Structure 1
Amino acid sequence: MHEVDPGFISPYAWSLIGENLIYLILFVGSMLVMALCMAFSLGFIPSLVTTGHIPSSLGKIRLPLLLIGAAAGVSAAAMLFIMLPGMKEALDTIYTRYLI
């Protein structure tokens, strides 16, 4: 069985990947928070209030959820802009040629 050896990746490239991996994890987490907040504030809560499954007083939680979702979206965009230059540098270090 032929195994792939990551020996061609230099320690510098591994450090670049490691530095930017935390931003990738935070980006995914921020996107999940944003998606859940938006789904609950724009979809589930209004529907459940309309059908009477939850009291209408819970409809007041929509605005804070929207604000949390918006803040998570802004933080996801910030993580993306912080992460992309470092990941490009890491990929440039690993793959020196784009065309074979």
Structure 2
Amino acid sequence: MAIIPLQLKTLFTLDTPKCECDNFHSVEESILVSCLSRNFLCGESKKLFEMDPNYISLEAWEHVSTFVTYIWFFVLSMVIFAANMLIGHNAIPSLIKSQHIPGSLNKMRIPLYGVSVVAFVAAIYFALTAFQGGRAAIKLIYPDFWI
């Protein structure tokens, strides 16, 4: 704390009780803190803007494992989706038009599109399931989070 000369200290009077915040009265240097921190001065144990993590339990690790597993399934299904769309929508028509493959292979496009749709729906399912597991893990580790 800085030392305040006696003349300046007499200008500041403490009209407000120690644990009160009042904007209409001047305060002493030892009470020059914001109203938000008055809870700490008065001994109240409110943690206003803190995010202290809890102990990471086995249940939280299971949710993290679910998140990681389903994210890998999401990536795999997106690769399957992209590969089938690339082959069915780009490669086959181009190769048929340039006559590198016979035109009868054009029938292969429909099953490739079907696999693409199934892989895309699976990717959406895996992403939603992964983030549910991730959110559950965050709730267990950080019970009061601002997300």
With the shorter chain as reference, the TM-score category is 0.7 to 0.9
Dislocated runs of 4+, deviation >4 Å: 95-99
In the other structure, the counterpart of 2:107 is 60
Give the residue type in structure 1 aligned to 2:92: I
* AA matched with 1:29: L
Alignment identity in percent? 34
Q: Which residue of 2 aligns with 1:72?
A: 119
Q: 1:54-77: per-residue Cα shift (whole Å, max 9, x none)?
A: 111111100000010001101111
TM-score, structure 2 normalization = 0.56
Q: Considering fraction of residues, name the structure with more helix.
A: 1
The structural deviation recorded for 1:9 is 3.8
Structure with the greater relative contact order (CA < 8 A, sep ≥ 6): 1 or 2? 1
2:86 matches 1:20: no
Structure 2 gap segments, 5+ residues each: 1-54
Deviation at 1:15, TM superposition (A): 1.6
Task: Give the counterpart letter for 1:80 in structure 2.
Answer: A
Supply the AA of the counterpart residue of 2:84.
C
- For 1:52 and 1:32, the matched residues in 2 are separated by 28
